[in-house]
Structure 1
Amino acid sequence: MRRFLVTAIALALAGNCATAMAAAPATMTDTAATQATTTQLPRNVRPTHYDVAIVPHAQTLTFDGQVTITLDVLEPTTTITLQAVDMTFASAKLSPATGKGKAVAAKVGVDADAQTATFTFDKPLAVGSYRLAMDYSGKIGTQANGLFAIDYDTKAGKKRALFTQFENSDARRMIPSWDEPSHKATFTLEATVPSGEMAVSNMPATATTDLGNGLTRVRFAQSPKMSTYLLFFSQGEFDRATAKLGETEVGVITQKGVVDQAKFALDSSVDVLREYNDYFGTPYPLPKLDNVASPGASQFFSAMENWGAIFTFEHTLLLDPAFSTQSDKQRVFSVAAHEIAHQWFGDLVTMSWWDDLWLNEGFATWMASRTTQKLHPEWNTQLNAVAGREGAMSRDAVATTHPVVQHVETVEQASQAFDAITYQKGGAVIRMLEGYVGEEAWREGVRNYMKAHAYGNTVSDDLWKQVQAAAGKPILDIAHDFTLQPGIPMITVQSATCSNGKTTLKLAQGEFTKDRPDKQPLSWRVPVIAQAVGGEPVRTIVEGGSGSLDVPGCGPVVVNAGQSGYYRTLYSPEQFASIRTGFAKLPAIDQLGLMGDTWALGLAGLQSPANYLDLVKATPAASDPQIWGDIAGKLDSLNDYYQGDVARQTRFRKFAIAQLAPVFARVGWDEKQGEADPVKILRTRLIDTLSSLGDDKVIAEARRRYAAQDTDPAAVPAALRKTILAVVARHADAATWDQLHAAAQAEKTPLMKDELYQMLSSSEDKALAQRALELALTDEPGATNSAGMIRAVASQHPELAFDFAMDHMNDVNKRVDSSSRSRYYPGLANGSLDPAMVGKIQSYAEQHLAAGSRRDANTAVANVIYRVKVRNERLPAVDAWLKKHGG
């Protein structure tokens, strides 16, 4: 499942148990308001097949259900416990699976806190196979948990569609079930829907019956054996477009009238599926693969890999020619590549328990990156791997980090497992290990893993053993070092001595942290690649805390050449000076990696933060567009640290604008014929950043174009519409805000309507931000947009947004999917520079979160403390550098 949510304003990047627990853990006890729901069920009964019949009542947000579960009793028992939430049971009975023998009624006991329903029988059930049949009813939600409704505007009026979202622990909201990944079973689904609406599930429909009362019953083919969280159902007024790849029908499903906006997604899905059929060596096994688009949004995810029926919010699947950008196009492809990778890593082979979630998400992250670069080399997205690694390292460098393979006991902990460590660090570790064993050996290991574990469940070592066998090269120890312990190795280049045409490096391994300068370093076996400028790369393993290698050539030497390693590199001042002098000659990927290390090491106090500004000055205006995009982002971050100090911020902004303005002059406002795709993305990034830095020329030009759009069609080209609107919204006065608000109210395209409400929440003006917060708690923006609006306010006014959310928690909770709440509220405070915010976050956690569910709250506290430290202890060195260099 892809969890990174993109708006028109910003891209938010922001235990040691390696195997699944064999028995249900003890229930945690805590007096906090949020219950720590114990997740695992007893292992004395297991399901093999579900027959499910659903009758949704969309208008009343309720549904009726019937399910018959074929199950095996593995040891005598008088009870069967499964997971269920917000359900009322009318009847339950058990009969032998053979059909011979009398059915017996069961008493049903519901434990709302544990999210379980227990069926009790008068006599112990003997070992054997049975069918447990239930009639029940449940609730349809308005946030993306379980079976939920999405309301959206069209030119024909308001519409409502239904979708499901079950990962990680919400299948229990629609079906009483064993809602755990290791309890795989087959499913047959039947749904009664309004005639004229389309019903969608994992498998094709096999029978459609007109019931004669405005309703139609649709029955779908039996699914393969799969985890409960991968089941999918949807109904609504949809269109579907298809293409064929061999025997597989590939489809996209959208609201009526916009299916043409999914053409790129459909074409991309075919290309990706063809590539994966070859890469995995195991062909996609289902007869169809749909991607289903939904209006709206979630604070938890943007797409979900349901087997044969991927769910994706419209903002990550559709491309509207009226306003979609090159970034949107690349995101559509990348997310599709991520979710289709899950059809193998996650769906065909599934982690045994959420401890090994990274087997799904880290692999899909890596696979999407690899595949995007291979199938669209013109985008040059290989540099994105460095940006992803930086996101992981930012999270991994504080005390609240966790291993890639993590200990999960509760529903809340499982939800919190979907983070940058699982996704980005997991993907970075795979990239490093693939570079160590070689592409062919890695792929052979993956193919063998798929064949050995198809339709089953695994732990991380199952993958490592297959890769190690294929490579004939030991990787188990390296893999364990990077997945079973947290943190980031730091390779220090102690000396670099040149003699007889080669450079000898002496290396030491420590640990990089942002908040524990005296921490005793952990030990890793680190694959290191070093290369002199213009020379050949050399590999070694740094283990036992030190190492050395000889590198051909005597020029500046880059450690972590090619940037496949997951570690920081610290150079001596002399070595750094040498690399800085030759910076323009480095490959773009090494420039980006060096800048990432220099930025992080400088803010952590391991070298001068001004070193980063030296690299900015050393970067030619004609450098790779993605290098300048990264520089723009980091200069914008430094600008944020100066908030509240007008004089110092003005001086820094003058420097930052002076660096970016010449680059923007080369790019310009208007697209040029034959322009490379990365340049299109850089244009929007520079406009946004220069606006954020207060560049009067850029702000004035954006306002001019906005005002002229009704009389000059060329003033606001489609590729710049969202960018220009975002600049205008950020610097809006009350009259302009009202004008944008009226546009949002009038907009009938859900994709653009949602963007406009986000933009209304991005104002730098505190009074307008307050108006946006109040608007968010009305029905006007739509049930799934409100939480995003509050988050958008937090990007400019974190204290205001956090305090507002705390004061209106009951109302906000209704607008945040339950999977996100424990991370949503602390996330509002992440950008704060106010030390008082630490106590506020801690108070929230103590009052509302169980002790085992406070990881995100603790991380937010660590981030605020770190930001305050950077402002107080690092900015003076930046000020001194600016003064010296005329800033």
Structure 2
Amino acid sequence: MGKGFFISKAVGIAAIIVGAGALATIIALSVVYSQEKAKNNDNVLPTDGGTTSKPPVTTTAPSNEPWDKYRLPKSLVPDHYNVTLWPRLKQNLTTGLFIFTGQSTVEFVCAEETDLILIHSNKLNYTKRENNHLASLTSLGGVKAPSIKSSWLQQVTQYLVLQLDGKLMKDHRYHLHTDFTGELADDLGGFYRSEYMEDGVKKVVATTQMQPTDARKAFPCFDEPAMKAIFHITLIHDLGTVALSNGHDVQKTVFQPTEKMSTYLLAFIVSDFSFINNTIDGVLIRIFARTPAIAAGQGDYALNKTGPILKFFEKYYNSSYPLPKSDQIALPDFNAGAMENWGLITYRETALLYDETFSSNSNKQRIATIIAHELAHMWFGNLVTLRWWNDLWLNEGFASYVEYLGAHEAEPEWNVKDLIVLSDVHRVFAVDALASSHPLSSKEEDIQKPAQISELFDAISYSKGASVLRMLSDFLTEKVFTMGLRTYLAEFAFGNAGYTDLWSHLQMAVDATGTDIPETVSNIMNTWVLQMGFPVVTVNTSTGIISQKHFLLDPDSEVTTPSIYKCVDGLSYFPPLRTINLYVFIISGSDWVLANINVVGYYRVNYDQGNWERLLGVLSTNHVAIPVINRAQLVDDAFNLARAKIISTVLALRTTKYLNKEREYMPWESAVGNLDFFYLMFDRSEVYGPMQDYLRNQVTPLFTHYKSLTDNWKNVPVGHMDQYNQVNAISLACRTGLRECQNLTNQWFNQWMETKLNPIHPNLRSTVYCNAIAAGGAKEWEFAWSQFKNASIAIEADKLRYALACTKQPWLLNRYLEYTLDPNMIRKQDATSTIVYIANNVIGQSLAWDFVRARWSYIFTQYGGGSFSFSNLVNGVTERFSTEYELQQLKQFKEDNAEVGFGSGTLAVDQSIERTIANIKWIAENKQNVLDWFKAEEKP
């Protein structure tokens, strides 16, 4: 029995307007297509005399028909496509639309007799062909093809449906022909439009983002990762523009056939970009970007590092790069960070372009690691591809792990491999400690709809995947891990596989090398893959007993996700006992124990009170006796164990007392990250003042250290980590009200305003801009806004966009929020992150929440449908929630927008509710103790 629902008058009117708008778009596209066809009767996209019209669409409730299911039947298997696309880079003056026209022929094999053809199609309008249908079918090999009886578009499940008057014959080949029109919209998905200004002229780029389910917006296709095929792509484009696709160009617009590949890895681009190139061992490497960016040398770093990283992965995989060229292109508008299209990787400008005048060392690291991440996919993901999206974690988790290995090859002096602990392990612990988390691998039947697929692109898939694979590599040894990886890639090259196939090959490597493991790889790893969460291991040094249990941030929360594994007794939750990696020291006759050295295990560690006291003693007297990564671990574990009521919050706070002697980046970054939670919980309460006093005293020695090290801020620290920690020193010193720091940042910013020459080093710009804008008023904000609008370097624009959210003026923040709805003010790709920046500001948090609630339908329609990062918006605007009133607002928000939906942010809504409940409890139980502790620490 279906559930009824009602809508308010306002929502009803809005729905009618949206529906009318959609209909108008379809009609307009049809008009434009007809106009273009009339003007180009001799063009290379013949329409066979057909007409484009709005095809019939289904409006009835879903049934059990094949076209109402989201997965394709197994009856048809594509072999290759011939696709010709013609994007119009000029706006039609009558309709105001940008469009593309296309023609596709797909050759497929009939695997099972059927009288039905289902092929994915979304937001495409078709030119009617013979017998007034939306496609035509021909047979190969002398067998007559059945006629098309009826054809229509099934919008919900995104199919072009063709019912036949007879059956396709098993093992016979057929051609399906279509002519179609689509909008080259600015929605950042499928075949879309990116715009930018150059020399006062608006330029348009036609580009693509297919992952996970948007190839069907560019042309009709069997849009599932296991439906691999060869693609023959032709692009028609204006004189003076450059066409790119996965294959190497043979002529101006015709590309060599691709390798056998999945639809989500396709890419085609038309632009007037420039490029730089070199060739390494026969592989052509090119970096494309806006002409001024290439001329300014902003692609040089990427070009110089791509070759070494590519060669590293060839050695790591023991497999030659499988394509003749590797193109990488920086796009002004791009929703993700980058996309691993095979042979044509697309990036945000900030993820590929480096300019030493504007780019910080963190920008440089991001470029190196993202290039490594995407190049890792050329084999793991592209050559061998997941069968279905429920195994996405293996694709993205693997690339997120080995990106550190590739970046280390490019920049060996950075020690970047250590940073996986902060950036991935600790990051995902925060999510995986919630009862609303989810396992790495989902059941295939649970991941069907495009929104469900998009929802998987989260911290669990990326960061937990990276963490457990790093643990596995350490446990098996890198030699065994890479041996299994190489045979896995060799067996499934140009095909599809699942994570169990990788376990089988790793087991083969274990057996071949005689590696001693007490369980099979599959049995060991399934405990990590098939259940959510992770354990906390308690090491009791007084009894010698080691125990473990499921770690939950809120121990009272109810875990409803079923699991066949019970982490209650013994150590069955994770690999055998030796992987706990105990590290025992004897210092001055006092034994102390430290577990999980370098945090290679995916678990937290607790100790008996006596060992905690001994560890705190070592931190206070000889902190360097503990490895630097484990100093970061002790702080992070302690604060999170306290949030879970396993140890006291005061004990966690005591781990920060030694920081006035700490000069290393990782422990400081761990502390700052955990203290951010205290700011979120207490920056609206009486705890804030004493907390500020304590932290100011702790960070002042670090601030002074960097002042001395840099000769009063004239120089840049030499080490990569030191450059990072200098930012921490200034950021926290200014945040806690250290007058010398605030004067310094204001002085630099005022000098920039007065002289128009920026004296601030790129490493420090984000934090200096933020603090100066926070301390200033409208004058400072307007100056920064003008610099943002005029910035020709995307990395500099990003720093300013972040800092503009730091103002303490509510009216400026409200105006800034309104700007996020206008792509001429804030690019669509940046809208949601800008709202989150504003919500991070204690003044802007309630403004951002009210803004999102009031405009949810519009925001979701414009930015949320297929956005991988949409969960960040939901989490970002609710992160500070810690009152019963805010909890009720959040629950009401979920209820009010159930019909609109939350897309890839659906799980984030539940996580936000769970987190808010935990925050309310934590404050009730800890506020007074925390206040008393901070006050006591400030007494002489």
- Is 1:52 aligned with 2:89? no
Secondary structure (helix, strand or coil) at the match of 2:694 reads helix
Match of 1:411 in 2: 450
How big is the shift at 1:200? 1.1
Please, which moves more after superposition, 52-61 or 354-363? 52-61
Match of 2:845 in 1: 798
Cα gap change, 1:776 to 1:156, in 2 (>3 Å): same
Please, which moves more after superposition, 849-858 or 444-453? 849-858
How big is the shift at 1:620? 5.5
* Maintained 8 Å contact 2:455/2:904: no
- Is 1:614 aligned with 2:654? yes
Residue correspondence of structure 1 range 661-700 to structure 2 within 5 A = 661-668=700-707, 670=713, 672=715, 675-700=718-743
Cα gap change, 1:314 to 1:579, in 2 (>3 Å): same
Match of 1:39 in 2: 70
Cα gap change, 1:734 to 1:99, in 2 (>3 Å): farther
Match of 1:524 in 2: 573
What TM-score do the two structures reach when normalised by structure 2? Answer: 0.83
Match of 1:65 in 2: 102
Q: Distance in 1 between matches of 2:593 and 2:550?
A: 21
Match of 2:818 in 1: 774
- Is 1:194 aligned with 2:227? no
How big is the shift at 1:854? 2.9
How big is the shift at 1:791? 2.4
Cα gap change, 1:369 to 1:496, in 2 (>3 Å): farther
How big is the shift at 1:37? 8.8
* Maintained 8 Å contact 1:830/1:860: yes
Q: Distance in 1 between matches of 2:105 and 2:257?
A: 14
* Partner residue of 1:658 out of 686, 691, 697: 697
* Partner residue of 2:254 out of 211, 219, 228: 219
Please, which moves more after superposition, 559-568 or 270-279? 559-568
Please, which moves more after superposition, 767-776 or 732-741? 732-741
Cα gap change, 1:38 to 1:785, in 2 (>3 Å): farther
Cα gap change, 1:277 to 1:61, in 2 (>3 Å): same
Secondary structure (helix, strand or coil) at the match of 1:346 reads coil
Cα gap change, 1:694 to 1:767, in 2 (>3 Å): farther
- Is 1:450 aligned with 2:489? yes
Q: Distance in 2 between matches of 1:188 and 1:461?
A: 33
Cα gap change, 1:840 to 1:373, in 2 (>3 Å): farther
How big is the shift at 1:506? 1.7
Secondary structure (helix, strand or coil) at the match of 1:124 reads strand
Q: Distance in 2 between matches of 1:884 and 1:723?
A: 30
CA deviation vs aligned residue, 1:782-820 (integer Å, no higher than 9, x gap): 343333322221222333213212322344245415212
Match of 1:495 in 2: 541
* Partner residue of 1:746 out of 781, 790, 793: 790
How big is the shift at 1:751? 4.2
CA deviation vs aligned residue, 1:750-804 (integer Å, no higher than 9, x gap): 4434543443233233222111112222333334333332222122233321321
Q: Distance in 1 between matches of 2:677 and 2:723?
A: 22
How big is the shift at 1:349? 0.6
Residue correspondence of structure 1 range 203-242 to structure 2 within 5 A = 203-208=247-252, 218-242=253-277
Residue correspondence of structure 1 range 159-170 to structure 2 within 5 A = 159-170=203-214
Q: What letter corresponds to residue 869 of structure 1 in structure 2?
A: K
Cα gap change, 1:106 to 1:643, in 2 (>3 Å): farther
- In structure 1, runs of 5+ residues without a counterpart are 1-26, 209-217, 498-504, 536-550
Match of 2:682 in 1: 642
Residue correspondence of structure 1 range 476-491 to structure 2 within 5 A = 476-491=522-537
Q: Distance in 1 between matches of 2:855 and 2:918?
A: 28
Match of 2:871 in 1: 823
Secondary structure (helix, strand or coil) at the match of 2:126 reads strand
* Maintained 8 Å contact 1:761/1:769: yes
How big is the shift at 1:403? 0.6
CA deviation vs aligned residue, 1:586-616 (integer Å, no higher than 9, x gap): 1111111222211110122111122222221
How big is the shift at 1:839? 1.9
* Maintained 8 Å contact 2:78/2:107: yes
How big is the shift at 1:744? 2.7
Q: Distance in 2 between matches of 1:729 and 1:123?
A: 71
* Maintained 8 Å contact 2:452/2:904: yes
Please, which moves more after superposition, 709-718 or 76-85? 709-718
Q: What letter corresponds to residue 865 of structure 2 in structure 1?
A: S
Match of 1:719 in 2: 763
Residue correspondence of structure 1 range 306-455 to structure 2 within 5 A = 306-387=341-422, 388-407=424-443, 408-455=447-494
Q: What letter corresponds to residue 760 of structure 2 in structure 1?
A: V
Secondary structure (helix, strand or coil) at the match of 1:136 reads strand
Match of 2:936 in 1: 884
Match of 1:14 in 2: none
* Maintained 8 Å contact 1:37/1:115: no
- Is 1:158 aligned with 2:202? yes
Match of 1:282 in 2: 319
CA deviation vs aligned residue, 1:657-711 (integer Å, no higher than 9, x gap): 1111211211136253662121112222332333333444322321111111244
Cα gap change, 1:615 to 1:56, in 2 (>3 Å): same
- Is 1:251 aligned with 2:289? no
CA deviation vs aligned residue, 1:503-539 (integer Å, no higher than 9, x gap): xx3201211101234867455133433344558xxxx
How big is the shift at 1:231? 0.3
Q: Distance in 2 between matches of 1:302 and 1:278?
A: 26
Cα gap change, 1:824 to 1:704, in 2 (>3 Å): same
CA deviation vs aligned residue, 1:721-765 (integer Å, no higher than 9, x gap): 333222223334122222222333333444434543443233233
* Maintained 8 Å contact 1:510/1:521: yes
Q: Number of paired residues?
A: 821
Cα gap change, 1:371 to 1:162, in 2 (>3 Å): same
CA deviation vs aligned residue, 1:442-501 (integer Å, no higher than 9, x gap): 11000011011111111111001111110234221110000011111121113346xxxx
Residue correspondence of structure 1 range 498-577 to structure 2 within 5 A = 505-517=544-556, 521=567, 523-527=572-576, 528-533=579-584, 555-577=591-613
Cα gap change, 1:381 to 1:100, in 2 (>3 Å): same
* Maintained 8 Å contact 1:188/1:221: yes
Secondary structure (helix, strand or coil) at the match of 2:179 reads strand
* Maintained 8 Å contact 1:151/1:782: no
* Maintained 8 Å contact 1:296/1:754: no
* Maintained 8 Å contact 2:120/2:159: yes
Secondary structure (helix, strand or coil) at the match of 2:167 reads strand
* Maintained 8 Å contact 2:660/2:701: no
How big is the shift at 1:43? 1.2
* Maintained 8 Å contact 1:232/1:306: yes
* Maintained 8 Å contact 1:491/1:510: yes
* Maintained 8 Å contact 1:446/1:466: yes
Q: Distance in 2 between matches of 1:850 and 1:124?
A: 41
Match of 1:20 in 2: none
* Partner residue of 1:728 out of 761, 772, 791: 772
Cα gap change, 1:786 to 1:561, in 2 (>3 Å): closer
Cα gap change, 1:204 to 1:430, in 2 (>3 Å): same
Q: Distance in 1 between matches of 2:668 and 2:830?
A: 32
Secondary structure (helix, strand or coil) at the match of 1:406 reads coil
Please, which moves more after superposition, 757-766 or 769-778? 757-766
How big is the shift at 1:636? 3.2
How big is the shift at 1:105? 5.3
* Maintained 8 Å contact 1:383/1:592: no
Q: What letter corresponds to residue 42 of structure 1 in structure 2?
A: P
- Is 1:464 aligned with 2:503? yes
Please, which moves more after superposition, 743-752 or 151-160? 743-752
Cα gap change, 1:307 to 1:37, in 2 (>3 Å): farther
Identity among equivalent pairs (%): 26
Match of 2:337 in 1: 302
What TM-score do the two structures reach when normalised by structure 1? Answer: 0.88
* Maintained 8 Å contact 2:432/2:533: yes
Please, which moves more after superposition, 636-645 or 426-435? 636-645
Please, which moves more after superposition, 829-838 or 554-563? 829-838
CA deviation vs aligned residue, 1:627-667 (integer Å, no higher than 9, x gap): 2232223223312211211x320110111111112112111
